[in-house]
Amino acid sequence: MNIYYPIFIPIYLALVVFLIWYASSLALSQIQFAPTKVSWSGIAIVVFGFAAVQYVEYSKRYQYKPYTREEVAKHKTMEDGVWLIVNNDVYDVTDFVKKHPAGKKIILNNSGKDATRHYDYHLEATKHFWRRAKIGWIVESDGHAAESKV
Q: What is the pLDDT of residue 1?
A: 43
CB atoms within 10 A of CB 27: 11
pLDDT at 83: 93
Give whole-number Cα distances, 135 to 14, 84, 114, in Å: 29, 10, 15
Concatenated DSSP letters for 109-143? HHTTSB-HHHHTTS-GGGGGGHHHHEEEEEB-TTS
How high is the pLDDT of residue 12?
Answer: 75
Tell me which amino acid residue 10 is.
P
Structure confidence at residue 110 (pLDDT): 86
| pTM (global) more than 0.75 | no
- Digit-by-digit pLDDT tens for the chain (150 residues) are 445 556 667 777 787 888 787 777 766 666 555 556 666 766 777 788 787 777 766 666 567 888 999 999 999 988 989 999 998 999 999 988 888 888 888 888 888 999 888 888 877 777 777 878 888 889 987 656 665 544
